[in-house]
């Protein structure tokens, strides 16, 4: 079996004579897909009665049905819609909890054939070594994977949190120079520092701009858009409403409309798309993306689902599919190779039913999904995966003794608490007056509180532990914990008692990372993530089952925001208040405040 990677398709420069011969009828194609309607992302029309001629993993021609008279192998689409494979312009593989090789299975089932990933999560844990391991993983995957080089590792200054990695401008420049897959700078998350002219932030921007690489962004707040655009940022996936989306388009910033399960923080598309449907802007510089998906949601809410959400929001199907394929390719200068069905393009195709749901997928001209099931060819490719270095399996390093809860105040104090609410991206800063009490349970019942603790796990500090309080999180009993606390990926634990919090912490230490729920001293659900405390080494279907079980126990525990929203609680670049291993951080002030102040 030949390799199922993007490298297995010959460069167009070596194929032009062969493709011209096939398109002209002088040579036989390898495959003819007949009886199809063709979704053209160039003209945004669905063309009836067409057939597609494929040769050596590329499209030779799209012809009227019945044109081919030779003996080439045929696949009958039976009136289905043939469209270009989807192109996801912004994702984080680590959020799926699986490796790049495993990620490919879910992507291809959903009709996605190319992704642009920002591996800042593993970069935060393992520095350049983690990013390069992910790139090696991506090279073996049966999927076209490109890297937007992590730009903000750590997300904030060392004074505010401890990360395992430190990607400087020099390291980022070296990644660009070494890896051809490194095609852009990943989301520049420290938008406040960028707007304020921070020297380190702008040196990183320069490393990309000097090499002609585009810069991806991440910004909250209309007041930051102008300075952000002036700093060279030319795309964003963080538009949360029509007004900031409109500002970004007018500033020359590509808009990636992020769609996600409505119960998560990743479903801003319905509001942001109103810049088109209500304010009349063009969709020509608008794409759709998934951003973050856990393994379970990845199977059910792929980029095809996001594209259909754009249709539900008012886009014509042909427009929406172009936003899901050609536009992402165009943003990264690859529209001559992917995103459309023109001659010479890669034969990355998807057969759709009338509801625009993927039925079959071709990757580089090879049928990898047929009738909604992976083919033996893809199954064999998925059985051989990249083996991460042993260092990646030993990244959770904890001291033997850790105090996980704050001391009970003995006098009246004002507590700075973190208010959680759906969807879970922004967090409220709520001050609560605590009168003297005999135990924490009294405060919890009176104010709807629970503990939240962040434990540094990279062995880069003297064992930093920060204590906080959550309000409105609604945890009924026990504890929940994760080693995926964005973006430095220290361990975050919420709990109603210290004993269960310790059980959760040591369970994550034993598995070298993961997510778990604990009740009455027992782990009731666990997703082990032994690779960098971020990734499983199992197939995506197995991990999805584990995640579904976690979600059941998570809901039983009463948590008001989902697991992936919980992981954002330490993300100290998003308002209003966060908790890192260094303490409570006010955003955008970027100041640490104590948990308690004397009333």
Q: Is residue 472 part of a domain?
A: yes
Q: Is residue 370 part of a domain?
A: no
Asked if 288 and 410 sit in the same domain, the reply is no
Asked if 316 and 419 sit in the same domain, the reply is no
Asked if 123 and 222 sit in the same domain, the reply is yes
Question: What is the DSSP code string of 78-109?
Answer: TTPEEEEPEEEEEE-GGGGTS-HHHHHHHHHH
Q: Is residue 27 part of a domain?
A: no
Q: Is residue 438 part of a domain?
A: yes
Q: Is residue 356 part of a domain?
A: no
Asked if 312 and 414 sit in the same domain, the reply is no
Asked if 205 and 287 sit in the same domain, the reply is yes
**Residue found by looking up tokens 């049966």 in the block:** 142
Q: What domain count does the chain have?
A: 2
Strands 254-258 and 235-236: parallel
Question: What is the DSSP code string of 411-446?
Answer: S-EEEEEEE--TT-SSBEEEEEEE---SSHHHHHHH
Q: Is residue 58 part of a domain?
A: no
Per-residue model confidence (pLDDT) at position 515 = 98
Asked if 398 and 306 sit in the same domain, the reply is no
User: Whole-angstrom Cα distance, residue 309 to residue 262?
Assistant: 11
- Summarised one tens digit per residue, pLDDT across range 170-217 is 999 999 999 999 999 999 999 989 999 999 999 999 999 999 999 999
CATH number of the structural domain spanning residue 263:
3.20.20.140
Asked if 299 and 403 sit in the same domain, the reply is no
Q: Is residue 490 part of a domain?
A: yes
Number of separate helices (H) and strands (E) present in the chain: 19, 29
* Among candidate residues 325, 351, 377, the one where a domain is terminated: 325
How many alpha carbons lie under 13 Å from residue 263 in its C-beta half-sphere?
12
Q: 3-state class of 223 per DSSP?
A: helix
Per-residue model confidence (pLDDT) at position 50 = 98
Q: Is residue 60 part of a domain?
A: no
Per-residue model confidence (pLDDT) at position 36 = 97
DSSP 405: S
* Among candidate residues 303, 325, 347, the one where a domain is terminated: 325
Asked if 444 and 315 sit in the same domain, the reply is no
Asked if 292 and 144 sit in the same domain, the reply is yes
Predicted TM-score of the model (pTM): 0.94
* Among candidate residues 294, 325, 356, the one where a domain is terminated: 325
- With a CB cutoff of 8 Å and minimum separation 6, the contacts of 349 are 33, 52, 82, 83, 84, 85, 341, 361, 362
Residue 244 burial (CB count, 10 A): 24
Asked if 266 and 150 sit in the same domain, the reply is yes
With beta carbons less than 8 A apart as the criterion, state whether 118 and 256 touch: no
Asked if 321 and 398 sit in the same domain, the reply is no
User: Whole-angstrom Cα distance, residue 189 to residue 532?
Assistant: 21
Structural domain harbouring 449: 393-598
Which regions of the chain are under pLDDT 70? 1-2, 265
Q: Between the CA of residue 259 and those of 130, 273, 310, 350, 392, what are the distances in Å?
A: 27, 10, 9, 20, 31
User: Whole-angstrom Cα distance, residue 469 to residue 578?
Assistant: 11
Kindly report the backbone phi and psi dihedral angles of residue 178, in degrees, each rounded to the nearest multiple of 5, phi listed first: -90, -35
- Summarised one tens digit per residue, pLDDT across range 577-593 is 999 999 999 998 889 99
Asked if 435 and 534 sit in the same domain, the reply is yes
Per-residue model confidence (pLDDT) at position 1 = 40
Per-residue model confidence (pLDDT) at position 272 = 96
């Amino acid at each position: 079996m030949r390799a199922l990677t993007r490298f297995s398709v010959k460069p167009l420069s070596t194929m032009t004579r062969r493709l011209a011969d096939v398109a002209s009828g002088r040579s036989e194609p390898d495959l003819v897909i007949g009886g199809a309607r063709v979704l053209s992302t160039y003209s945004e029309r669905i063309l009836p009665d067409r057939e597609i001629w494929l040769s050596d993993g590329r499209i030779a021609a799209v012809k009227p049905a019945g044109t081919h008279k030779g003996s080439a192998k045929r696949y009958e689409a039976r009136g289905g819609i043939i469209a270009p494979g989807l192109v996801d312009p912004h994702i984080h593989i680590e959020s799926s909890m699986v490796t790049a090789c495993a990620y490919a299975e879910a992507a291809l089932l959903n009709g996605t054939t190319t992704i642009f990933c920002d591996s800042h999560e593993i970069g935060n844990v393992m520095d350049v070594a983690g990013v390069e391991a992910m790139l090696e993983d991506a090279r073996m995957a049966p999927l076209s994977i490109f890297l937007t080089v992590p730009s903000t590792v750590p997300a904030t200054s060392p004074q505010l949190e401890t990360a395992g990695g430190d990607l400087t401008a020099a390291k980022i420049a070296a990644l660009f120079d070494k890896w051809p897959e490194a095609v852009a700078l990943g989301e520049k998350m420290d938008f406040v520092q960028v707007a304020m002219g921070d020297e380190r932030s702008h040196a990183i921007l320069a490393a990309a701009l000097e090499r002609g690489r585009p810069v991806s962004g991440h910004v909250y707040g209309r007041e930051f858009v102008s300075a952000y655009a002036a700093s060279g940022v030319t795309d964003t996936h963080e538009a949360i409403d029509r007004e900031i989306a409109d500002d970004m388009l007018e500033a020359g910033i590509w808009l990636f409309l992020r769609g996600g399960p409505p119960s998560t923080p990743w479903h801003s598309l319905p509001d942001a798309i109103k810049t088109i449907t209500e304010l009349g802007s063009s969709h020509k510089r608008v794409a759709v993306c998934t951003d973050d998906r856990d393994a379970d949601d990845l199977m059910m809410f792929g980029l095809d689902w996001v594209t259909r959400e754009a249709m539900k929001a008012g886009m014509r199907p042909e427009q929406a599919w172009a936003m899901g394929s050609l536009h992402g390719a165009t943003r990264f200068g690859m529209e001559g190779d992917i995103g459309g069905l023109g001659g010479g393009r890669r034969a990355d195709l998807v057969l759709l039913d009338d509801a625009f749901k993927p039925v079959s997928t071709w990757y580089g001209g090879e049928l990898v999904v047929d009738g909604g099931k992976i083919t033996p060819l893809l199954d064999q490719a998925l059985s051989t995966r990249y083996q991460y270095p042993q260092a990646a399996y030993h990244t959770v390093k904890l001291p033997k003794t850790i105090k996980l809860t704050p001391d009970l105040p003995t006098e009246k104090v004002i507590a700075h608490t973190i208010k959680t609410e759906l969807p879970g991206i922004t967090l409220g800063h709520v001050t609560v007056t605590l009168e003297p009490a005999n135990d924490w349970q009294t405060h919890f019942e009176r104010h709807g509180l629970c503990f939240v603790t962040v434990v540094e796990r990279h062995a880069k500090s003297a064992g930093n532990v920060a204590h906080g309080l959550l309000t409105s999180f609604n945890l009924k009993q026990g504890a929940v914990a994760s080693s995926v606390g964005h973006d430095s990926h220290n361990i975050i634990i919420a709990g109603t008692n210290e004993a269960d919090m310790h059980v959760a912490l040591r369970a994550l230490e034993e598995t070298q990372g993961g997510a778990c729920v604990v009740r009455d001293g027992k782990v009731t659900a666990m997703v082990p993530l032994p690779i960098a405390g971020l990734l499983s080494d199992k197939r995506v279907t197995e991990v999805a089952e584990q995640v579904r079980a976690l979600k059941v126990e998570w809901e039983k525990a009463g948590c008001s925001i989902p697991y992936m929203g919980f992981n954002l609680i330490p993300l100290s670049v998003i308002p209003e208040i966060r908790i890192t291993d260094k303490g409570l951080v006010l955003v955008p002030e970027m100041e640490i405040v104590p948990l308690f102040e004397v009333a």
